[in-house]
Structures are given as structure tokens and as C-alpha cells.
Chain A
Amino acid sequence: MALLTCRDLCLGYEGKEILHGLNFSVEQGDYLCIVGENGSGKSTLMKTILGLVPSLSGDIEFGDGLVKGKIGYLPQQTDVQRDFPASVREIVLSGCASRMGLRPFYSKADKQLARENIEKMGLTELSKRCYRELSGGQQQRVLLARALCATEKALLLDEPVSGLDPHATEHMYELVKKLNKQDGITIIMISHDLEAALEYSTKVLHIGKNIFFGSKQEYLDRLDKTGFVSGKGGESNG
């Protein structure tokens, strides 16, 4: 059974349709890249999967032990966060908030989990530092550590490398790859950067006027034959 299945999904805001007829499924251990032009509904799709935006029609089904609310999410950064007075540890711990239920305070297990994820992201030395004083790449790693506290199975990343310098971008991709390969965490990532997306992913979902879903190889074949992706294909043809 697939981890996540979307059937005939129709996306939109306030009744206005952005995208319809979306069918795809994600298996345990997959690395899915979602690509498409600006405004094609990539972020909306992610928010719909997470239940932040209601879908207009169609089904989203979770399986294989994945439940709604147990998915790690790395959102795009907001203005509010950039100057937020909080330590790295506080932010990573907040990833455990959903595990608390009605408990008002964090348990020892929560704190241990946060410590492990801080270490995994190489942030141990920064854990007492203030979030707003960190570099862009470090901030993304903090948010990734927080997302890891909320999940054991799947991570949804919304353009995790936007605004990062080349070195930090590379580092981020490596970290995500490691999580996918070593920890077996399923990755669903929105990306602008088609090349990197194709380098790391195993499956591709292209949304826009044309919808494509399949393995990376199928996508590359189709890209060669038809210049399917308008921007990228146009370049290589012309």
C-alpha cells in the first residue's frame, strides 16, 4: 500500500480552481520532486496534502502507517520568522508540540528527540544561539531539524534551497539525500531548480498545463522527445 495516494485531486483557493485531475502516489522511501512554473499550484498542492487548504474535490489517502499530522513540513520562511527572538533549541523543540497532546510541557523523550535531531543537522554548537543571527543555510537546517521532530516517515519540503548560496544549497541537498537513503524517510520536495531536482529524485511530478507523473527516467525520456517542460524544453530545442 502506498504512503500517500491522490486520486482525481482538484486544487484551489476559495472555490477558484487552480489545478484538476491530479493523480499520483508516493511509496515508502521515494524521493519525489514536484516541479512546474510559478503559480502552477505547487505550494497549494503541498498545503492541501497537509490539510492546511481544503481540496475542492478528489481524495487524499494516507497509508502504510502515515497519518495526517505526522508529516514533517519545511515551509518557506516568513518575514515574522526572520527577526524572531528564539534559540535554536526552542525552535527544534517546537516540532514536538503535536506529540504533547494535552500535556503542557515537553517530556524527557521530547527533549532527547530534539537533541538528536539538532545533532543530526550538525547544529549542536549553535543550539543556544539566536535564530535570527544564523545564516540562511543554518536557519533552514534548524527548520529541518524541527520538521524531523514531527515525523519518522515523510518530509514535505517547500523550496528548501531558495535564497541559499551555492555551498549551502549543495549542503542542504546532501542532508536531504542522507535522510532519504540512511533513515528511509520519504521526501516530497518542491523545487525550482530542475537540474538538482533530477539529480536527486527518484520520481517526478510536473504540474501546470500538462501534468506528468512517473519515474525520473520516464520524465527524462519524455523531456528529450517532446520538450515537454515548456521553459526547459524550449531551451534545449532551440
Chain B
Amino acid sequence: MADAFDKLYTYITEYEFVQNALIVGVLIALCSSLLGVTLVLKRFSFIGDGLSHVAFGAMTIAAVLKLTNDMPLILAITMISAVLLLRTGKNAKIKGDAAVAMISVSALAIGYLLMNIFSSSSNLSGDVCTTLFGSTSILTLSSTEVWLCIGLSAVVIAVFVLFYNKVFSVTFDEDFARATGVKASLYNLILAVVIAVIIVLAMNLVGSLLISALVIFPALSAMRVFKSFKSVTICSGVLSVFCALLGICIAIVYGTPVGSTIVAVDMGAFAIFTITGKFVGRSAK
């Protein structure tokens, strides 16, 4: 055990890529968990999954076009999809969950198809696996990517804090908010754009398949125990950061894949919170 700590200490103090991974990991975990509370309550838990597949599709398009900087393209395509998905949530012919499922599966299929047809790499399944599970990319971040991540996270957190009360009112009761003159569609649009940004960021950390976990687990765990929106949001943020840190550290020391390790830690936290919630609920009654 002491060995493991020594190893971790050396890694963190000596290697820049480990520091980068920790910074990016913490920021993404924080952002996704903040939005997660709203998404889970709005019954949009799966939007993370759907959009991450869209981002995967966009990434393959960028790869086929041989773009050196694929971030802007991925961000644009994902944002458009997010706006469309959240907008069709209400009165569309294809309802919310079906629309998410459709877009998600199509994007995944097209992405894989494109990779198969145009890929120049010999290790195709390895490439796909990396994008889907994000196994190593968080450990190979360039400093530009780190700064981009810091900048975007700052914007996301600022937007969330500034619009917190409006987001609450729109999440709790969109009809009431709209009826009393709150511009609900504007806040839905902002939410959609912010979600897209987070998902594109999070792909670096856990890959597109595991993003849903990052979005929903902290929120669900927090809801087991806490009873006001504010405490749920704060707890979800703190918990998510803690799990991400722990997950990355374990992954570094034991050489496990970063994304799956973080999700495993999140699952553990969920179990603990569920039990605590039962216990607290019973003693309150």
C-alpha cells in the first residue's frame, strides 16, 4: 500500500501528463455532474449517451477529412444535435427517448462505417476501442487541449451558476415557468449547448460509451441522500470530483483503463449512498 502511495506521489509530482489528466478529469467530472442533476430530473438521462455517439461519428468524419484539429467540427455537430434533441422533446412526432436512441445508433453505425472504409490505420479495432472507451487519451493530452478544457469548463460553470435559479424553475415546471414569462426555450437552448460542450470534453476522459455514467451516477447518488435541489447539486459535484480523482489515481497506480475505473468508483459511491439513504430515511421516520 505504501508502495502504491509512493508511486502515485512520484507520478503526480514528476510527470506533467499525470497533472494534466488530474486537472482535466476533475473539471470534466464537475461540469458533467452539475448538468447531470437537471438531465436526470428532466428524464433526459440518455442524452449523454446519444450525444456522445454523435460526437464519435463526428470524430470519424474529422479523421476521414484528415483534420489536424478535430475539436471545432465535433463541437459544432454535437451542439446541433443537442439543440435538435432537446427541442423535439416536447411536441415532436418522434418522442424524446426514441429520438435519442435513433440518433445515437445512427451516429455510431455511420462512424464505424466511415472508419472502416477510410481508415489508414492498421489497428482499426484498437482505434474504435480507444474512442469508445477513452482508454488512454486522457494521458496523452497536449497543453492546448488542457487549456481549451480549462477555458470551456470555466464557461460551463459560470453559465450554470448564473442561470442556476432559472434552470431550477425550468426543470421543476417548464409550463409554469413559461406561463409566468420565463424564457424557457432560451434556457433549454443554453442547456443543450452546454451539454454538448461537456460531452465533447468528456470524450477525452472516459470515451463516448461511458459518458452517461459520468452524467447520471453522481446525480443519482446525491438524490438518494439529499433533499433540496441545492444540496443535491453541490453533493453531486463534490462526489463526482472525488470519484474522478480516486479513479484516476487507481488507474495510474494499477495500470487500469481510466474511464472504466472512474465509472467503477462511481458505482461504488452509488451503492454507499443508496444504503446511507435507506438508513437516513428510516431513522427520520
Q: Is the interface of A mostly helix, strand, loop or mixed?
A: mixed
The residues of A that contact B223 with a CB separation of less than 8 Å are: 85
Whether B227 sits at the interface, judged by CB under 8 Å, is yes
Q: Quick check: is B119 within 8 A (CB to CB) of the other chain?
A: no
Interface centre among B163, B166, B228, B230 (most CB of A within 10 A): B228
Is residue A98 within 8 Å, beta carbon to beta carbon, of the partner chain?
yes
Instruction: For B121, list chain A residues within 8 Å (CB).
Output: none
Binds A, one of B3-11, B169-177, B267-275: B169-177
Chain B CB within 8 A of A199 CB: no
CA distance A133 to B228 in the complex (A): 11
Does A60 reach chain B (CB closer than 8 Å)? no
Contact in complex: B229, A85 (CB < 8 Å):
yes
Per-residue contact bits, chain A 76-102, to B (CB 8 Å; 1 contact, 0 not): 001011001111001101110110100
Given known A-B contacts A52-B178, A104-B163, A80 and B228 have beta carbons under 8 A apart: no
Asked whether A69 is an interface residue with its Cβ less than 8 Å from the other chain, the reply is yes
- How far is A23 from B232 in the complex, measured between Cα atoms in Å? 47
Instruction: List the B side residues contacting A70 at CB < 8 Å.
Output: 180-181
Q: How far in angstroms is the closest Cβ of chain A from B46?
A: 16
Contacts of B178 in A (CB 8 A): 50-52
Asked if B41 and A52 make an inter-chain contact with CB atoms under 8 angstroms apart, the answer reads: no
| B162 contacts across to A, CB distance below 8 A | 104
A71 within 8 A of B: yes
Is B43 located at the chain interface by the 8 A CB criterion? yes
The yes or no answer to B182 lying at the interface (CB within 8 A) is yes
Q: Are A80 and B165 in contact (CB under 8 A)?
A: no
A130 at interface (Cβ–Cβ under 8 A)? yes
Chain A residues with CB below 8 A from B179, complex form: 47, 50-52, 69, 71, 73, 75, 156
B232→A85 contact, CB < 8 A:
yes
B164 interface contact, C-beta 8 A: yes
16 contacts between A and B (CB under 8 A): A73-B179, A73-B180, A75-B173, A81-B172, A85-B226, A85-B227, A85-B232, A86-B229, A94-B169, A97-B165, A97-B166, A97-B180, A98-B181, A98-B182, A104-B165, A150-B180
Residues of B within 8 A of A (CB): 41-43, 91, 161-166, 168-169, 172-173, 175-182, 223, 226-230, 232
Taking A81-B173, A86-B168 as known contacts, 9 extra A-B pairs with beta carbons closer than 8 A to each other, sorted by chain A number, are A52-B178, A73-B175, A80-B43, A84-B41, A85-B228, A91-B172, A94-B169, A106-B165, A133-B227
Residues of A within 8 A of B (CB): 14, 47, 50-52, 68-73, 75, 78, 80-81, 84-87, 90-91, 93-95, 97-98, 100, 104-106, 128-130, 133, 146-147, 150-151, 156
